[in-house]
């Protein structure tokens, strides 16, 4: 991979404190296993918004897959489908959602609501028609994070010949994605009138915002700091999870992403109140190294690792994972 693109994928905002914290937070969380629970074989299947999944590990929305592999997002979709899980297609995907959907599903579509409402509605319609089963609205990006690796490398845009294919308007031109500092809950209310798809808000860290998400009729939320790429210094996502899960109180599914690398990380996240987790950078690495098969194998390996550590912790199903199984190391 071009080192400039590798830096784009790997990097975070500012000092990269939050990027690191997402991973190191899991180092401080220890599992308090149960024994003699006679769990037998594990069953990792979950159902989200009516879709049955083989695993509680989903693919997070990430931009520009054609920079990682010549088969791009289509290969990621094929790999996720083979592993029996959801791929969240980024609004900054480098292939059309229709083509990605041909390669595999189930898909959800990630949206940065654009100030141009008619255009936003057009993008939503495309995602719906392509068969996407939920919308993931990213709300942690009122402005674009400052990623200093990209600044140093002079990486500002996609190379010639590549574009955000789902940003094409009626004239066929691919528009730039606008980060909108004017985005508020009213716009999510508007979006609700535009689509019948389930809507998840991505980028919740504060329990008060989690309560607002429920009050505004959101169908799910994702505890996330955008993989440390937006607000450097933001709380690690797994550290924010318990208070958010408590505020939601089981009314809607709570998902989490950021720093999930091992089965034990998934176990801890589910125990602290997540219904499912999403994985970002490891999927890009797997895509770059092995295309669709790489993505499939990565997701299967992570799921097998989860299965293994659940056996060791005395849990049969994701629902068996409760907060008492996690202690903070001193």
Ligand X SMILES: Cc1cc2nc3c(=O)[nH]c(=O)nc-3n(C[C@H](O)[C@H](O)[C@H](O)COP(=O)(O)O)c2cc1C
Other beta carbons within 10 angstroms of residue 63's beta carbon come to: 18
Strands 29-31 and 199-204: unpaired
Tokens 């989690």, residue located? 210
> CB-wise, 46 or 201, nearer to ligand X?
201
Tell me which residues in 223-242 interact with ligand X (CB under 6 A): 224, 226-227, 229
Strands 326-328 and 29-31: antiparallel
For ligand 173, how many residues bind (rule: CB under 6 A)? 5
Distance, CA of 308 to CA of 313 (rounded, Å): 9
Q: Which residues are catalytic?
A: 226
Instruction: Give the H or E element holding residue 75.
Output: helix 72-82
Tell me which residues in 165-184 interact with ligand X (CB under 6 A): none
Is residue 76 within the footprint of ligand X (CB under 6 A)? no
Q: Which residue is nearest to ligand X (CB)?
A: 280
Applying CB under 6 A, among 92, 100, 123, 321 the residue interacting with ligand X is 92
Applying CB under 6 A, among 6, 10, 177, 311 the residue interacting with ligand 173 is 177
Applying CB under 6 A, among 25, 92, 267, 270 the residue interacting with ligand 173 is 92
| HSE-CB for 264 with a 13 A CA cutoff | 13
Long-range residue pairs from 62-65, CB within 8 A, at least 24 positions apart, any chain: 62/9, 62/90, 62/280, 62/281, 62/283, 62/284, 63/90, 63/92, 63/93, 63/94, 63/164, 64/5, 64/8, 64/92, 64/93, 64/94, 64/158, 64/162, 65/93, 65/94, 65/95, 65/284, 65/287
Task: Check whether 147 is labelled as a binding-site residue.
Answer: yes
Distance, CA of 155 to CA of 204 (rounded, Å): 28
Q: How far is the CB of 51 from ligand X (least distance, A)?
A: 19
Applying CB under 6 A, among 61, 72, 79, 294 the residue interacting with ligand X is 61
Q: How far is the CB of 192 from ligand 173 (least distance, A)?
A: 23
Strands 254-257 and 220-223: parallel
When CB distances are held under 5 to 8 angstroms depending on the partner's kind, the choice from ligand 173, ligand X, none that residue 177 binds is ligand 173
When CB distances are held under 5 to 8 angstroms depending on the partner's kind, the choice from ligand X, ligand 173, none that residue 303 binds is none
> CB-wise, 101 or 236, nearer to ligand X?
236
Segment interacting with ligand X (CB under 6 A) among 163-171, 193-201, 245-253, 258-266: 258-266
Task: Check whether 115 is labelled as a binding-site residue.
Answer: no
Task: Check whether 110 is labelled as a binding-site residue.
Answer: yes
Mark residues 203-242: x for contact with ligand 173 by CB under 6 A, - for none.
-----------------------x--x-------------
Distance, CA of 146 to CA of 150 (rounded, Å): 8
Alpha helix ranges (H) inside 83-163 = 97-103, 117-129, 148-153
Mark residues 8-47: x for contact with ligand X by CB under 6 A, - for none.
-x------------x-------------------------
- Cβ-proximal residues to 215 (8 Å cutoff; 6+ apart), any chain: none
> CB-wise, 46 or 231, nearer to ligand 173?
231
From residue 202, alpha-carbon distances to 140, 209, 226 in Å are 7, 11, 8
Binding residue numbers for glyoxylate: 112, 147, 226, 229
Binding residue numbers for FMN: 61-63, 90, 110, 138, 202, 224, 257-261, 280-281
Q: Which residues lie near ligand X (CB under 6 A)? A: 9, 22, 60-63, 90-92, 110, 138, 202, 224, 226-227, 229, 257-260, 279-281
């Amino acid at each position: 991979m071009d080192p400039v693109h590798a830096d784009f994928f790997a990097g975070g905002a500012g000092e990269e404190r939050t990027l690191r914290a997402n991973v190191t937070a899991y180092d401080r969380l220890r599992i308090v296993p149960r024994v003699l629970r006679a769990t037998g074989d594990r069953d990792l299947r979950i159902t989200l918004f009516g879709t049955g999944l083989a695993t509680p590990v989903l693919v997070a929305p990430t931009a520009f897959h054609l920079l990682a592999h010549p088969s791009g997002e289509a290969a990621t979709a094929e790999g996720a489908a083979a592993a029996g899980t959801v791929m969240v297609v980024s609004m900054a995907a480098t292939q059309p959602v229709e083509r990605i959907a041909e390669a595999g599903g189930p898909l959800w579509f990630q949206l940065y609501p654009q100030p141009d409402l008619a255009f936003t509605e057009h993008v939503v319609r495309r995602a719906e028609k392509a068969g996407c089963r939920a919308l993931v609205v990213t709300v942690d990006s009122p402005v674009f994070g400052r990623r200093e690796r990209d600044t140093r490398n002079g990486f500002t845009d996609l190379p010639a010949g590549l574009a955000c294919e789902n940003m094409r308007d009626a004239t066929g031109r691919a528009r730039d994605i606008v980060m909108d500092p004017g985005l508020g809950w009213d716009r999510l209310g508007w979006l609700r009138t535009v689509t019948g798809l389930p809507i998840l808000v991505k980028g919740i860290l504060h329990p008060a915002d989690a309560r607002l998400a429920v009050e505004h009729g959101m169908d799910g939320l994702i505890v996330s700091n955008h993989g440390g790429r937006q607000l450097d210094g933001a709380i690690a996502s797994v550290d924010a999870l318990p208070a958010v899960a408590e505020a939601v109180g089981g009314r809607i599914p709570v998902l989490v992403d950021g720093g999930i690398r091992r089965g034990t990380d998934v176990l801890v996240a589910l125990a602290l109140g997540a219904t499912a987790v999403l994985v970002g950078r490891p999927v890009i690495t797997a895509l770059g190294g092995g295309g669709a098969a790489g993505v499939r194998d990565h997701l299967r390996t992570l799921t097998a690792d989860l299965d293994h550590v659940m056996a060791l912790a005395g849990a049969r199903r994701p629902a068996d994972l409760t907060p008492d199984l996690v202690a903070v190391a001193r």
